């Protein structure tokens, strides 16, 4: 490996000298301790990182979009340059296979370049111009011009299940930097070495492109200690988080308790309901079961879009269930990301298996080894499902709950679901026409609707929404993936009666950037 791992935080362009060990990388399954030890950032180092971010904001936020775009592309190039190090260390820390790590690296650099293209073009600021009408009766109208402006320094918490795409230089960091906000990252204990490798690439890109020190820092020490201190600090103006509901709601409480409350964009819990109508089964029940099983077990079920809930009408789908049962029983246990996720999966599936009215449809016939998760499926009636708070929760692993009832019962149950990232429906156009309330009901509970497909696999593009009503996310009006993510870290500002020379270039009469504007 070419990157030398030091085990210390990045405080702007300096490395920390913390002396308290907060953890090591741990190899899943074997529990092998990986070197180096990682040192927690001290309170003084946290303060310095935040002070540097505050000092960097005025200069960084005023840089032209084209200049920030060069920076983002340099980060992408730098990450590609260390992909072999990422793959080597990532396999040790996460047990993710090489293709997954290479694919996630590709997604990460794609996000950075996508945001670079967005801010280079510049129309994302939503410039609006209402010119003065001094002769308007009965009162004259002043000149008003508005656009979106960066919020300020942003705290980003790395995710356990995505060591790249939702971590140090993932979507939250990319969108915040694109908006003009310095970023202070709180590294995750599951993949500290990968975090250090990526952080090195970001810092190198910042220095090579003359970015102000403090535009980016990475702190080790965990969410409860370092993370809480970062969120409480008055310098931070927004938070990006991907993780558990407990972690996300704790950060929300901290952010709301500040003298100046700030937004927390937390992606938390989702079971991603799949509704299968009888017409979809006619096309081939076994093929549908195979596609579902592939989605359920992809990445050992450790995706926030894992299909953990299926609505299947009674008196249908027996071939689907039989095929799914055979696939699950033949399915092999696989290594999960870390011991904590593995234990949580075991606890959740045990709770489901013993809940009132639940029967086990199938589980892998191969016993899971240390750190492994095995595929399984449970089955329950709509009535018993709605009675149980446990059954509406997330198992986060290769397990699903199949809920059976009449079509009328299923339609009536949808509005009682918690907020979801996705909702999938398998049907024909003709059958949906006979149930016109079903799609609107699913729309009200989710951020992405999928027709005749499955939720795993999030396309990084302009029109993607990766968000949803609580608890899928803390704020269902936003997305953590795609170019709309940039809006989370901005606020609108109006300039009234300003001389043209004092306006931002986006709002000047000559429109020197050539962006799209709303004008009247």
Look up residue 273 and give its two tokens: 């309901």
Residues sharing a CB contact under 8 Å with residue 480, sequence separation 6 or more, in sequence order: 166, 171, 172, 240, 242, 265, 267, 466, 467, 473, 488
| Contact call for residues 422 and 332 (beta carbons, < 8 A) | no
Residue linked to tokens 């992408």 = 76
Q: Please tell me the distance from the alpha carbon of residue 431 to that of residue 338, in angstroms, as a whole number.
A: 43
CB-CB neighbours of 4 under 10 Å: 9
Cis bond before residue 471 (omega within 30° of 0): yes
Look up residue 206 and give its two tokens: 């910042």
Instruction: Name 519's bridge partners.
Output: 129
Closest C-alpha to 396, from 480, 270, 241, 293: 270
Closest C-alpha to 269, from 133, 179, 389, 359: 389
Does residue 79 sit in helix, strand or coil? helix
Look up residue 109 and give its two tokens: 């650099």
Residues sharing a CB contact under 8 Å with residue 134, sequence separation 6 or more, in sequence order: 140, 141
| 3-state SS, one letter per residue, for 458-508 | CCCCCCCCCCCCCCCECCCCCCCCCHHHHHHHEEEEEEECCCHHHCCHHHC
Backbone angles phi, psi at 334, to 5 degrees: -135, 160
**Annotated catalytic residue 267:** yes
CB-CB neighbours of 280 under 10 Å: 20
DSSP class of 42: P
Closest C-alpha to 117, from 109, 126, 127, 129: 109
Residue linked to tokens 């370092």 = 226
**Annotated catalytic residue 430:** no
| 3-state SS, one letter per residue, for 288-348 | HHHHHHHHHHHHHHCCCCCCCEEEEECCCCHHHHHHHHHHHHHCCCEECCCHHHHHHHHHH
Q: Please tell me the distance from the alpha carbon of residue 404 to that of residue 382, in angstroms, as a whole number.
A: 6
Q: Please tell me the distance from the alpha carbon of residue 429 to that of residue 424, in angstroms, as a whole number.
A: 14
Given the residues 45, 88, 267, 506, select the one marked as catalytic: 267
Given the residues 22, 158, 181, 304, select the one marked as catalytic: 304
Is residue 135 exposed (0-12), middle (13-18) or buried (19+ Cβ within 10 Å)?
A: exposed
* Positions marked active-site: 267, 304
């Amino acid at each position: 490996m070419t990157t030398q791992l030091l085990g210390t935080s990045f405080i702007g362009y300096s490395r920390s000298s913390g002396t308290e060990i907060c953890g090591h990388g741990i190899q899943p399954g074997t529990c092998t301790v990986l070197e180096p030890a990682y040192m927690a950032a001290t309170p003084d180092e946290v303060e310095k990182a935040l002070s540097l971010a505050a000092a960097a904001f005025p200069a960084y936020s005023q840089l032209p979009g084209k200049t920030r775009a060069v920076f983002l592309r340099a980060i992408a190039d730098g990450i590609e340059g260390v992909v072999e190090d990422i793959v080597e260390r990532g396999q040790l820390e996460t047990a993710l296979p090489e293709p997954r790590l290479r694919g996630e690296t590709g997604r990460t650099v794609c996000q950075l370049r996508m945001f670079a293209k967005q801010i280079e073009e510049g129309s994302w600021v939503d410039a609006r111009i209402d010119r003065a009408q001094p002769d308007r009766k009965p009162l004259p109208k002043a000149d008003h011009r508005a656009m979106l402006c960066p919020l300020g320094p942003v705290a980003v918490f790395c995710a356990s299940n995505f060591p790249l795409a939702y971590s140090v230089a993932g979507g939250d960091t990319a969108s915040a930097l694109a908006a003009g906000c310095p970023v202070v990252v709180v590294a995750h204990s599951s993949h500290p070495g990968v975090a250090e490798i990526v952080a090195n690439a970001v810092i190198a890109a910042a220095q090579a492109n003359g970015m102000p020190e403090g535009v980016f820092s990475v702190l080790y020490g965990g969410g409860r200690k370092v993370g809480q201190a970062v969120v409480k600090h008055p310098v931070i103006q927004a938070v990006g988080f991907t993780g558990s509901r407990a972690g996300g709601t704790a950060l929300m409480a901290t952010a709301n308790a500040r003298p100046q409350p700030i937004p927390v964009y937390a992606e938390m819990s989702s079971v991603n309901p799949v509704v299968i109508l009888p017409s979809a089964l006619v096309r081939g029940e076994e093929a549908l079961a195979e596609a579902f099983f592939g989605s359920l077990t992809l990445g050992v079920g450790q995706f926030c879009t894992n299909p953990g809930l299926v609505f299947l009408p009674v008196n249908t789908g027996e071939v689907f269930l039989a095929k799914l049962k055979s696939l699950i029983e033949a399915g092999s246990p696989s290594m999960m990301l870390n011991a904590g996720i593995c234990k949580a999966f075991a606890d959740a599936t045990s709770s489901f298996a013993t809940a009132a009215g639940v029967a086990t449809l199938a589980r892998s016939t191969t016993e899971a080894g240390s750190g492994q998760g095995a595929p399984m499926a449970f089955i329950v009636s709509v009535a018993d499902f709605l009675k149980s708070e446990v059954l509406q929760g997330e198992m986060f692993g290769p397990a699903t709950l199949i809920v059976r009832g009449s079509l009328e019962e299923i339609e009536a149950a949808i509005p009682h679901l918690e907020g979801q990232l996705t909702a999938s429906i398998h049907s024909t156009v003709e059958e949906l026409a006979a149930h016109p309330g079903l799609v609107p009901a699913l729309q009200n509970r989710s951020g992405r609707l999928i027709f005749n497909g499955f939720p795993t696999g999030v396309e990084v593009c302009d029109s993607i929404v990766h968000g949803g009503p609580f608890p899928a996310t803390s704020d269902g009006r936003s997305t953590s993936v795609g170019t709309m993510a940039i809006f989370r870290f901005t606020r609108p500002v109006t300039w009234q009666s300003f001389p043209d020379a004092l306006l931002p270039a986006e709002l000047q009469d000559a429109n020197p950037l050539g962006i799209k504007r709303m004008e009247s």
